[in-house]
Amino acid sequence: MDYLVLFDLEANTPTEYNSLKFNEVLELPAVVLDLKNNSLIGEFQTYVRPTIDDRIPPFCTYLTGIDKKKAYYKSENVKNPTFGEALN
């Protein structure tokens, strides 16, 4: 193996398993490592706008630091991508 891609996804985790219908990814960060040269090749990070359930529980914000504004907007009037858009 020459390269390794690492992801550290953050999702809208509830305090109770049944309080949200789905756990959606809220942040998609990744780094690409060159294992032969022991070096960082690239990195990527974006917040992801939820589309199934727009609630972000306080417990999730406490764990991740991601609140509704951070998940939805890059800047004023510029929305973050959905998960599908972020993968493209």
Res 52: pLDDT: 86
Higher pLDDT, 14 or 53: 53
Q: Give me the mean pLDDT over the 16-40 stretch.
A: 86
Give the domain ranges of the chain. Answer: 3-87
Q: Give me the mean pLDDT over the 30-58 stretch.
A: 94
- Exposure string of 60-80, with b = 16+ CB inside 10 Å and e = fewer, is bbeebebebebbbeeeeeeeb
Q: Give me the mean pLDDT over the 21-48 stretch.
A: 94
Res 23: pLDDT: 81
Mean pLDDT, all residues of the chain: 90
> What CATH architecture does domain 3-87 belong to?
2-Layer Sandwich (3.30)
CA distance 10 to 47: 9
